[in-house]
Structure 1
Amino acid sequence: MKKTIVTATLFTFGALAFSAQADMEGGKINAKAEFDKHCAVCHPGGGNIINKAKPLGKEALAKNGIKSWKNIVAKIRNPGPGMTKFDKKEMPDKEAKAIAEYVLKTFK
């Protein structure tokens, strides 16, 4: 019985470690996975289900004053009405930057 519990515990910790590693690619953040985790619910395919006038395409972003990854990170930290705010504890700067660069690269 004890051997089964130890094995299950080790398996659980191993699965958790693998899951955490799945978000990383050789030490780099998997921006798509982080976007999917934090943003895709409201921004599926780069759209915006809350405010259709503010999708994530380059033209719409520019129209709303967002022209760089820094502008996107600023929005992540201090969004307008309807968008979830992500502080540095919930989404560290490195992760926020990776997501912002992913948005600029992916949604044209």
Structure 2
Amino acid sequence: MFAKLLSTLLVFLTAAMFAFATPAIAGDAASGAKIFSANCAACHAGGRNVISGAKTLQKDALDKYEMNSLEAVTHQVVNGKNAMPAFKGRLSDTQIDDVATYVLSQAEKGW
């Protein structure tokens, strides 16, 4: 009886750990910083946006515009949107993952 209760408790604790864990970020933020500096900083220095002041790279804006995941940022970098150019073919998949990782990590830190 005790073993079954303990086993059930462990299953719930394990599930809770995964449910509340921060997702891992796949790329290399240090490499992403260099790529960002060379390709993105002209418009996004310090997490700002010189074209559209509301759509910054700050955490609250990324949350508001549902750009707060590696997949969303990667999609934006690959495909571009409005005034932002697409970087597909200009940056490798690894470079795009790295810059997306950098953006998300900087947003978490408050730039």
Normalised by the length of structure 2, the TM-score is 0.67
Q: What is the deviation of 1:106?
A: 1.0
Letter of the 1:48 counterpart: N
> Which of 1 and 2 has higher RCO (CA within 8 Å, sep 6+)?
2
How many percent of aligned residue pairs carry the same amino acid?
31
How far apart are residue 79 of structure 1 and its match? 2.2
* Matching residue of 2:39: 38
Q: Structure 1 residue 62: deviation in Å?
A: 1.1
Q: Which runs of 5+ in 1 are unaligned?
A: 1-27
Distance in 1 between residues matched to 2:81 and 2:94, nearest whole Å: 22
- How far the C-alpha of 1:84 sits from its partner, in A, is 1.3
Matched residues, number: 80
- Residue identity opposite 1:85 in structure 2: A
SS of residue in 1 equivalent to 2:63:
helix
SS at match of 1:42: helix
> CA RMSD, aligned part only?
1.4
Aligned to 2:84: 83
Provide the TM-score with structure 1 as the length reference.
0.69
Say if 2:98 is the partner of 1:105. no
Residue 55 of structure 1 aligns with which residue? Answer: 56
